[in-house]
Each structure stands twice: as C-alpha cells, then as structure tokens.
Amino acid sequence: MKKYFGTDGVRGIANEELTAELAFKIGRAASYVLLSHNHKFKEILIARDTRISGEMIESALTSGLLSMGLNVTLCGIMPTPTLAWLTKKEETVGFMVSASHNPWQHNGIKIFSNGYKLPDSIEEEIEEALDKVSYGHSVGRIVNHDMLSEYIEWIVKRYVDLKGETIAFDLANGAAISTVPVVAREIGIKSFIFNDKPDGMNINEKCGALYLDFMKKAILTTSARYGVVNDGDADRCMIVSRDGRIIDGDDIMVLNALSMKDEGRLNGNTVIGTIMTNLSIEEFLSNNGIKFLRTPVGDRYVLEKMIETDSHLGGEQSGHVIFLDLESTGDGLVTALETFRAARKLKVDPSEFVSKIGRYHQILENIEVKDKLGVMEDGKVKTFMDRIKKEKNVRIVLRPSGTEPLIRIMVEGRDEKRVEEIMKEAKEIIEEVKDSGAIHKN
C-alpha cells in the first residue's frame, strides 16, 4: 500500500500535507529510482498549473533533481497533457505540479516518462527511497528552452480545418491559459474566453469542469453555439450547448467513436470506458457495431486497458478522453477539437446527436468520511451491496475517491423512482457506519 502516491500521483493540501520538504524528497528519490532503472532522458521537465503554491513545490522539486546531478527545464504554466506530450516527443521525464480539479489549497505531483504516468511499482520504489537516498556526486543546472511552441504548432497544424468555428472557452483560471487562446487565434477560431485571469487562488473557483453552470450562463453573452469547459490542469473537456445541454465524456466518446470508425482509426472497433459510463452508451455503441469494455474509475486504468487491447479511444464520463493514436493522456483541447471535427464529418449537430442517445436515470452522490477503506469493508455496506446487485435493470457503484476523503455513490437504472430509493438507502447506511469507529462484520 502506497502512503503518498494515489491514483493520480501525490495529492494534498499544500504546505501541510504536500510540503516543500516532501517535494524535495520526491525529486531526489525519483531521480535515484529512474536512474537505477536506466531511464534515458535529456533534461527533466517541470510544469505547473496556476496555484499559488505551484512555485514553491516547483522550486523544491527542482532542488531535489539538481542535487542528483540532473538538468531541469522549467516549462512554467502548462497543461498536464502538454507536458505528457513533450515527455514522449523528447523521450524524457516530466513532473507536473497540479491538483487538477481540486480547490486552490490543494496541490499535487504527477510524474510522466515518455508520455505515460509511472507504473505503481516505480511509485512504490520512489516512496521506499524517500528517506534513504543520499545526494548525488554532481550538481545539475536549470536549462531554459521554449517547449510550449512545439505543442502549439502540432495542434494548429492538425486542426487548421476548424477555421471559422465560433467557440466559448472556460479555462477555469488554470493551465489552459497558456494554450487555448493561442491555438484558437492561430487556427482562426472566433473565441470567447472566460476565466483566464488566475490569481493563484481562483483556480476552479465556481468555474471549470465541475461547475458547468458558469458556462450555461456565460455562453448566452456570446454568439457561440458551444462552450468548452476545462479543469485546472486542462486534461478534461466538457461541452455546453447554447440551449444548456451538457455533452459529457460519455457523449464525446460516442460521437468520436462513430467518426473514427468511418475513418478507420477505431482499432478493433473497441471503446474503453469505466464502471461509471451510462449503460445507454454501451447499448448505443453495440447497436453501431462497436464493442465497449469497462474499467475501474481513473484515466490510468482506462489507458492500461487501451494499451492491453490496442484500442485508440477511451475515457470517462467526467471528460477525460484519450485518443491514443494522438496522445498518451486525456487532453481537454484535443478532445474539444476532435469532437467538433467529428461532428463536421458526420454532418450532425452535437447537441441534437446526443439527445438521441438517451440516458438511463443516474444519480451521483459523495459522502465525506474519515476512513474510506473501513466503510468499504463494513459488513452492513457489503450486505446492502450484495442485495442491490441482484436486482435487474439497476446498477450501483460504491467506491472510495482516489484523491479525497470521500465515498462516491452511483446508482443507475430504468426506473427513476427505484434509483432514488436505492440512493437514499445507500446514503443512510454509509452515514450510519462512517463515524462508528468499528467495522460491522457479516
């Protein structure tokens, strides 16, 4: 069991849980472990989002890496997928300082090697080495290169045919400020940009992928038909239509799956989703000759299954969508542009298209708990889950959050009343056992 690394790197409240000292140790230990595995890399890349704590953690990480004799390129504010793309292109390692969609008080560290997040086994080795590694025999230097322009040039060249589109963008006062305005201008997209003035503490604040109400209102002040919404590190994409319809990751996958199938890009005619993907999506894809496979929640699990099955499209309802023939991680900007291009090729209006897919009634709830694993192992909870899973036309998912002290509940089914009854019962049971301090045995 890892102590610091979760499903998406190291996360915590900056200066309390994720301190400068811990960041320094991670930089030093990661250098030691990666070098011991003969990882070949040039300068190490470090990027960050717009949180006020980003510079502190960036500086501490840099010191740890320099102390091991490695050279570091500071990329500044940059989306997570941009850093991942650069590590693959440059065949190197990158550290992303971000807590994604979390509030400004939080921060995190994700490590990429040649485009991919480190496997669990390497993260475990880094944890074991945190307090054991001595300093290196040489000292590295900070090297300055313009890394961002390579990514922007690639994006603009690929999507130049979208010239003339009119799109609103909510940048969540996050890392997308470094890419979206430039790319939109270079392609020739008429853009309306919102939440592009970060102050270190307004990232994701009543905006972004977890607060779509902002775009629902903001788009009405523009001439745009659609609004693209990112999260703090810009690896998510949600789309809002002018009439207020939400086009989420499920919808985005369907639209792109049909387009990619027509293009011959949909390897194996297979799409990878998660246990949270609405059952209607699976049925719709099946009716169009496309296989759908599920994984646990988390883009790393989606990616693992995509690599295992040699699939090119996968993602999550939350807006993480991976086009593996283009990038090794979800990229909010690429996802948006691929989706608008797919709609053009299929000659459909995205909002009208997704309205025809339909949805099983689905409710999502989060309950804050002290002991996530204790709740999941509780006998009453297990008995409840076993009983509900025997019901037909109902699906329930109960899981601990990988980054927050929450139990996440999803109930889905054809009968809206029954779905609501099950959710009510689930919440009551978890509230009952969450602070009991004891595990109820079966």
Active site residues: 100
Q: Mapping DSSP to helix (H, G, I), strand (E, B) and coil, where does residue 236 land?
A: coil
**Dihedral Cα 126, 131, 132, 137, nearest 10 deg:** 90
Residue found under tokens 């290169």: 145
Burial of 295 (0-12, 13-18, 19+ CB in 10 A): buried
Looking up tokens 């996050």 gives 174
Look at strands 106-113 and 9-13 and give their pairing: antiparallel
What is the full DSSP assignment across 97-130? E--TTS-TTEEEEEEEETTEEPPHHHHHHHHHHT
Torsion over CA: 400, 403, 405, 406 (sign): negative
The answer to whether the beta carbons of residues 50 and 198 sit under 8 Å apart is: yes
- The tokens of 277 are what? 């993907």
How many angstroms separate the CA atoms of 322 and 174, rounded?
20
* Phi and psi torsions of 243, nearest 5°: -90, 10
β-strand pairing of 321-323 with 313-315: antiparallel
Token pair for 235: 């690896």
Per DSSP, the residues of 207-272 read -STT-THHHHHHGGGSS-SEEEE--TTS---EEEETT--EE-HHHHHHHHHHHHHHHT-SGGGEEE
**CB contact at 8 A, 66 and 43:** no
